[in-house]
Amino acid sequence: MEVVIVPDATAGGELIAEAIAALLSRKPDALLGVATGSTPLPIYQALTAKVRSGAVDAARARICQLDEYVGLPAGHPESYRSVVLREVIEPLGLSEKSFMGPDGSATDVQAACDAYDKALAEAGGVDLQLLGIGTDGHIGFNEPCSSLASRTRIKTLTEQTRIDNARFFDDDIEQVPHHVITQGIGTILESRHPVLLATGAGKADAVALTVEGPVASVVPASALQMHPHATVVVDEAAASKLKLADYFRATYAAKPQWQGL
């Protein structure tokens, strides 16, 4: 696992956008896994700026979702499909044909989960998967004690998660779905390059446990330690609990520029 400490969220977004740009130059039709929420927005903003300036050609890029609410229609403004369309697909000038995600409105939810897992494999696998992290160490909606071998599946949201997400639903928790479809930890680990961005002091404990703690299901993100090419990008605040912070700074400073992220 490579840990990169950056000054702030903007710098983290720029760094990861550069890695995506380099990937698209090598593989124009790369499959990019995207996450929702406020943390990855600096990545999408930096990547959009590169595309609009002509520095990056994303015309053949493919996009896939990390997770989706169960029970919301695809056109609901807070479905993650709608969010990805607004924050990623449209700004990058892509069409919906380049986008794949699980069907959260399916009658048979488990069948939809299995179909999405299969679709990712048939698409050649995810080349770069963007991830955020919860304060409890979850990635996607893989809450603590999720199986580290789990596949795309339905999960029940905790009460706290529904409270946290109520701000997107007019502060009405009753509008927040109880269930989601999420890529499992095993599914995430099949991506060629998982990249986790964490910003803010509120994520410091989770980052420290993920990077320096044991691999344990109680901290789902710690499973990234088992991946041969996982990158964790954190701002100074999120890095504040890392015991090896100085080591991580030194190793990244000495890294050959040609090696990239």
Q: Which residues are catalytic?
A: 67, 136, 138, 143
Q: What is the DSSP letter of 216?
A: B
Helix ranges, the chain (H): 9-26, 41-53, 80-84, 109-122, 159-165, 185-189, 204-212, 245-253
Helix ranges, 8-131 (H): 9-26, 41-53, 80-84, 109-122
**Residues 47 and 21 sit within 8 Å (Cβ to Cβ):** yes
The answer for residues whose C-beta is within 8 angstroms of residue 121's C-beta and 6 or more apart is 190
Residue with tokens 């520029």: 257
**Residues 133 and 139 sit within 8 Å (Cβ to Cβ):** yes
Nearest to 22 by CA among 53, 40, 47: 47
CA distances for 78 relative to 70, 108, 139, 158, 198, angstroms: 12, 21, 19, 18, 22
* Residue 168 in tokens: 């997107």
